[in-house]
Amino acid sequence: QVLLVESGGGLVQAGGSLRLSCAASLRTFSSYAMGWFRQAPGKEREFVVAISWNAGSTYSADSVKGRFTISRDNAKNTVYLQMNSLKAEDTAVYYCAAKRVGINYYTWQDYDYWGQGTQVTVSS
Residue 54's CB is within 10 A of a number of other CB atoms, namely 11
Q: What is the mean pLDDT of each successive set of 10 residues along the chain, which is 124 residues long?
A: 93 98 95 97 96 93 98 97 98 97 87 97 96
Tell me the C-alpha distance between 39 and 58, whole Å: 20
- pLDDT of 102: 75
- pLDDT of 1: 82
The set of residues, in sequence order, having a beta carbon less than 8 Å from that of 33 and lying 6+ positions away, is 50, 51, 52, 53, 98, 99, 100, 105
Adjacency order of strands within the sheet including 18-24? 4-7, 18-24, 78-83, 68-73
